[in-house]
A and B are shown apart, each in its own frame.
Chain A
Amino acid sequence: MKITNVHNVPQPLVTLAEGKHYSKGKSDYSVTELMSPPRVQRLRALHDEHIVQDVAEMLWPLLGSALHVVMERGETEGWTSEERLFTEVDGVVISGAIDLQENTKEGVNIVDYKFTSAWAVMNEKIDWEQQLNVYKWLVETVKKKKVNSLRICAMIRDFNRHDIDREGYPQAPIHMVDIPMWDAVKAETYVRQRLEMHRESKLSADFGEPLQKCSPEERWMSDTIYAVKRDGRKTAIRVFKDETEASVCADEESKKGKGKAYVEIRPAEPKRCTGNYCGVAKFCDQHQSEGETK
């Protein structure tokens, strides 16, 4: 990937963005690579030279990197920070860098830092659960230690104190999230499934065959929304996920004599693709064929 500096930000930020400090060691896949959609991984590899990102657009990844650098200064007895563990599955080396491990007599407590939104901590994030459980599996497999707990230390970038009375809203800008733990069998099955998906995808790429498509979940597909609107009013009266409920509501609104109400369909949108959060949207035939480029 080529990093540009259109807005002339200081060079150290560019260096950080270029990721020269980052290494997955002598591994074939990092945990994050394993978790990411195989199609995205292959397209990134195929088009690496043509992917361009401006450093000024990389605020959150940069702050994430900065946090890891700062963490190295916070050395505390009984805690291990930034440890990369390696293991081998069917001849493939997998590694994962664990942000924090609290070493206790009872076992290890794993913590992962995330710069994230309040919405994310209020909703179930399956990828957090997957990531931390692969770390748990790595600790149990490599270090032969029991893992007692998995937690996300969420740094909430859009925290608003006015919202703390809302149900489930975090009470402070740094919020701990408990993650459910899997047993070793479930974790290893997950790792093997992901590995097979990536191998299959690479096989397709090696022979110029069509790549496996991203799933709706991988594309962050939103729900189709049915908005009840009225002529002359800009905003929707109500929004529904169910078309029938929206039609009933529109009929009732029409009867109120304030003008005819109608249902506006807002189609589902693959937000990862349309926002190019994968970084390869313009090289992706799945996305391009749907004409979703913004």
Chain B
Amino acid sequence: MTPSELLKINVNEHTEKKNGLTYLSWAWAWDQVLRADAQATYDVKTFGDNPYMRIGDSAMVWVTVTVFGKAITVQLPVLDYRNKCIANPNAFDINTSIMRCLTKGIAMHGLGLYIYAGEDLPMDAETVKEVEPVKVMPVDQETGEIKGEVKLDSGDADANAMLFADSMIQYSSIVKSLKDLNSYWKANQGQLDKLKESHPVLYEKVRTTFSDIKKQFSQPKE
């Protein structure tokens, strides 16, 4: 099985819907990955003794999934069934989030990625044949918009930058305090610096989003 073949697997029978969100079984997904690449591994990033990063009273988990020799790192906030951050998550919450994060990481290699793209079915076999293993997700350096169709290849620098920027913006919309917002920015400063260098327009988009939310938090409540 190749990376592009992972893309065409229909995972619908192995998903579960909760509150309008679709979840893919991590056990089944990992089984598929091992069938594709017996050498595949995943690694949960630790922060000191903890398998999660504290951001204010919320937490973020990070997992690196290596398939076909390519390592992709993804992160996921510890969320409840309403897709909201859990304050002071317990071991169960963290564990659940890590396994969801693993599934997300697997998706970044192709399996079930169409679910994250909001589609009902994977690309059909014929379409997939036309998609080469490595495709570029071109980002317009002037507007920060993706040019043309998003090709599902997370190994690409543009795709990773886009994913990171997107997750930053997504998280910024669910934080509840200025302190949490600032903590999140600080926790990602290293990656933000790299984004600033490689994709200045995307960086500015993230920064402006954060700046606007900072202003909202700073304004006195009526």
Chain A interface (Cβ within 8 Å of chain B)? 28, 89-93, 199-200, 202-203, 206-207
Give complex CA distance A28, B48 in Å: 17
Please state if B214 and A202 are interface contacts (CB–CB under 8 Å): no
Give complex CA distance A91, B190 in Å: 9
Main secondary structure of the interface of A (DSSP, over half): mixed
Please state if A91 and B47 are interface contacts (CB–CB under 8 Å): yes
Q: In angstroms, how far is the closest chain A Cβ from the Cβ of B168? A: 12
Residue B78 lies at the interface, judged by CB distance under 8 Å to chain A: no
Please state if B185 and A91 are interface contacts (CB–CB under 8 Å): no
Please state if A206 and B207 are interface contacts (CB–CB under 8 Å): yes
* 4 cross-chain pairs, A with B, having the tightest CB-CB distances, nearest first: A199-B186, A203-B186, A28-B190, A90-B47
Residues of A within 8 A of B185 (CB): 203, 206
Residues of A within 8 A of B190 (CB): 28, 91-93
**A/B pair count, beta carbons within 8 Å:** 32
Residues of B within 8 A of A207 (CB): 207, 210-211, 214
Given A207-B211, A207-B214, the answer on whether A91 and B186 have CB atoms closer than 8 Å is: no
Residue B182 lies at the interface, judged by CB distance under 8 Å to chain A: yes
Please state if A202 and B189 are interface contacts (CB–CB under 8 Å): yes
Give complex CA distance A90, B48 in Å: 7
Give me 16 other A-B pairs in contact (C-beta within 8 A), A90-B48, A91-B190, A200-B186 excluded.
Answer: A28-B189, A28-B190, A90-B47, A90-B187, A91-B45, A91-B53, A91-B187, A92-B189, A92-B190, A93-B190, A199-B189, A203-B189, A206-B185, A206-B207, A207-B207, A207-B214
| Interface hub of A28, A92, A203 (most chain B Cβ within 10 A) | A203
Please state if A90 and B207 are interface contacts (CB–CB under 8 Å): no
Find the B residue at minimum CB distance from A45. Answer: B193
Residues of A within 8 A of B192 (CB): 206
- 25 residue pairs from A and B, CB less than 8 Å apart: A28-B190, A90-B47, A90-B48, A90-B53, A90-B187, A91-B187, A91-B190, A92-B189, A92-B190, A93-B190, A199-B186, A199-B189, A200-B186, A202-B186, A202-B189, A203-B182, A203-B185, A203-B186, A203-B189, A206-B185, A206-B189, A206-B207, A207-B207, A207-B210, A207-B211
Residues of B within 8 A of A199 (CB): 186, 189
Find the B residue at minimum CB distance from A195. Answer: B186
Q: In angstroms, how far is the closest chain A Cβ from the Cβ of B45? A: 8
Q: In angstroms, how far is the closest chain B Cβ from the Cβ of A188? A: 9
Residues of A within 8 A of B48 (CB): 89-90
List residues 183-222 of chain B with CB under 8 A from any CB of chain A: 185-187, 189-190, 192, 207, 210-211, 214
Give complex CA distance A91, B183 in Å: 13
Residues of B within 8 A of A90 (CB): 47-48, 53, 187
Q: In angstroms, how far is the closest chain A Cβ from the Cβ of B149? A: 33
Residues of A within 8 A of B210 (CB): 207
Residues of B within 8 A of A28 (CB): 189-190
Give complex CA distance A12, B211 in Å: 46
Find the A residue at minimum CB distance from B186. Answer: A199
